[in-house]
Amino acid sequence: MTQRALDSSGEQTPGSPRPAMIDAGSELDPVHPMEPPASERGPTGLTTAEVAERVARGEVNDVPARSSRSVGEIVRANVFTRFNLIIGVLWVIMLFVAPIQDSLFGYVIVANTGIGVFQEWRAKKTLDGLAVIGEAKPTVRRDGAAAEVSTSEIVLGDLVELGPGDKVVVDGTVAEADGLEIDESLLTGEADPVVKRPGDPVMSGSFVVAGGGAFTATKVGREAYAAQLAEEASRFTLVHSELRSGISTILKYVTWMMVPTALGLIISQLVVKENNFKDSIARTVGGIVPMIPEGLVLLTSVAFAIGVVRLGQKQCLVQELPAIEGLARVDVVCLDKTGTLTEGGMDVTEVRPLEGADPAYVERVLRAFGSSDPRPNASLRAIVDAYPADGGEDGGGWTVTGALPFSSARKYSGASFDESAAGDAADASSAWLLGAPDVLLADADPALAEIEQLNEQGLRVLLLARARGGLDEPDAAEGAVPTALVVLEQRLRPDAGETLAYFAEQDVAAKVISGDNAVSVGAVAGKLGLAGAENTLDARRLPADPDEMATAMERNAVFGRVTPQQKRDMVAALQSRGHTVAMTGDGVNDVLALKDANIGVSMGSGSEATRAVAQIVLLNNSFATLPSVVAEGRRVIGNITRVATLFLTKTVYSVLLAILVVCFQVEYPFLPRHLTLLSTLTIGVPAFFLALAPNKERARPYFVRRVMRYAVPSGVIAAAATFATYLIARHAYSGAGALEAETSAATLTLFLVSLWVLAIIARPYTWWRVALVAAMGLAFLVVLVVPWLQDFFALKLVGAPMPWTAVGIAVAAGVALEFAWRWVGRRFGA
């Protein structure tokens, strides 16, 4: 399992353990002797036969796979809806009382539901496949050998090994501990790590922040403490988002309007007018069906599902579908430097001895320091590569006697050595610190000016200092003697500049939050073209007051020497100013900030803990994937807002037409076939294309309010124009076939007005949007001129005056639509 860690200056890097989130000098800063890895000592774990016995007894960690719901659940969610029930009943009625063309709306619903089920099934397959790829595999010890297994293969009594950043996947009891510290904040809310010793309990859902060890599984599967919470939190879901809750609110209001209106329409058509029974039923159903924006729910599901599939193709795991929508609302993204702006690897470019230190001796110290950690982070790996140990694991004859784990709050690590074995009798023992110069040096130290110049070039500088006392003292860095500067050069990600440019273009502010020196981070960000990279701030000078912190966050773009708790406070400060924040991270020090951010984004090779709390996991570890994620979110919510206006406009004019029919005591002007044709050409087909089209507009809040501001005036204008044409046509035509002629004239007006609404919503125009609107108009024209289609849809324009009158009324309505939309835009800025 790939690990990630903070390096000695505070940055997270791949390929190494994660540090503890603890303050320097606390009792949770253990100095522990170097011991062999857990896999090379202690109990041998279960035997193969014992594992088989437990599997046979069902003592397996059989927690359901996350992100997946069954095909049956998908079908039920898409088929058994309130409005599908209403439409289904009306469809059955129409099959008995009217020609097949008046039942077309039922077949359209079947097709739409089928598309929704298929697309969500595709999303399920994508999510399930990506969840398997992104799932960390814990290491268990069986038959004396360590092996990685899937989480579901752990059995009761298994000996599970732990390393920095590993998540505890089942409950158990510590069997071995080597400076083991576990963060239980996800369970208890307490951020301080807890030191674990043999015999202590560990709980699923917690994670290791320092040290290592092993524990014996005592509760697996659904009995584990966090299993049920994890299952519920990671379930494939389509709820709990402003978009979907807004649609639910709309549907609730539609139901309230629809019931009394439909009852009035039924009474009007069946009792008052005393029409032919079957014809009255058909026209009543024709008035009820278009009130239901049934396709809106399905289209939203399809848009979400297709978004998941698209992102899945880019190795992006969306653990909760609403995260796609949440990304559309992000206006600030907080970034790590290492792993995002820079690649994990670094190179040592220079070592500068200080205060007359012997270069050869400094080299020996670095060789020994490099061999003190069996799993070096990026900074230490660069030192190891530059100064490999030439005398075996003891670093050239020096014996490692102790190690001080790296802490994000402390900003340095340490190691102590016995030099006597190598014949260095001048000082048989020594303790060394390696970390951030501005933390280890006094404020007035002359070396800081030299370091500042290097930082301004975007170089990372570590200080090697000799501790005056032991590593176990309360403040090991106090009085440390500077010995050498280790200058490291970071490797910039080739695509990071383009990614930052994308965020700037989309009005998303990028904030680089790093544990490294602020000037150095700013120089790196400046090389990549980050706007405001020169505005840097050392987080140690960050105001504690939340309001002042928020002001500082908005004014500056780069922050250095940031502690894990400060990351969390920074997210809260930005949110207090109304910002929607996305946070990227990969180490355990990012967990709390990821939890609090509106959207948490984790790297696929990050710790299991960060992947567990993040809504988005970038399995390819590429920061360049984020623009695709943000773009997908904006596409979904922006396009659904557009098409929702189409659907709601139809609902409004359908309800108003029904009310006008009841009030004027006339026949309802349309049969179901007419409105099926209109809905297909002005809503159904165009909405499908518009919902999947590119859309870079940043989403705004108050979805329901914004949609109704346009849908209500559009629906009122459409209803008024259509009913006016219908009343005029009733006076213009008489005798046999009059009702069909009246309906045809009203249908022409309603189609033209609805097409005008579509043309407004399709803006800004591109060639395909213009072609889409034109194709819909051409399709309706074909229906009007082809004889068999005229008969099929019962549409036949009679004479010239009335059809041109219908066109004239539609043009007047179009002008009113333009005025209404512009007024709403100016009045509400929407």
Collapse the DSSP code of 795 into the 3-class scheme (helix H, G, I; strand E, B; otherwise coil) and give the result.
coil
Q: For the beta carbon of residue 827, count every other beta carbon within 10 angstroms.
A: 9
Residues 6+ apart with CB under 8 A from 145: 39
Residues 6+ apart with CB under 8 A from 421: 394, 397, 398, 399
How many angstroms from the chain centroid is the CA of residue 246?
20
Distance in angstroms (rounded) separating the CA atoms of residues 134 and 113 = 31
Which residue of the set 158, 336, 373, 569 is catalytic?
Answer: 336
Residues 6+ apart with CB under 8 A from 114: none
270 and 284 in contact (C-beta within 8 Å)? Answer: yes
- The pair phi, psi for residue 191, each rounded to 5°, is -80, -25
> In what helix (H) or strand (E) does residue 207 lie, and over which residues does it extend?
strand 207-219
**Burial grade of 428 (CB within 10 A; 0-12, 13-18, 19 or more):** exposed
How many angstroms from the chain centroid is the CA of residue 699?
15
Is 336 annotated as catalytic?
yes
Residues 6+ apart with CB under 8 A from 482: 354, 355, 440, 441, 445, 447, 463, 464, 465
204 beta partners = 206
Q: Dihedral of the CA atoms 156, 159, 163, 168 (nearest 10)? A: 10
Tokens representing 498 are 């383009």
Tell me which residue of 325, 311, 322, 326 sits closest to 127, measured CA to CA. 311
Tokens representing 292 are 């239901």
Q: Which residue has the tokens 């996947």?
A: 169
Residues 6+ apart with CB under 8 A from 422: 391, 396, 397, 398
Q: Which residue has the tokens 């609805």?
A: 754
Residues involved in catalysis: 336
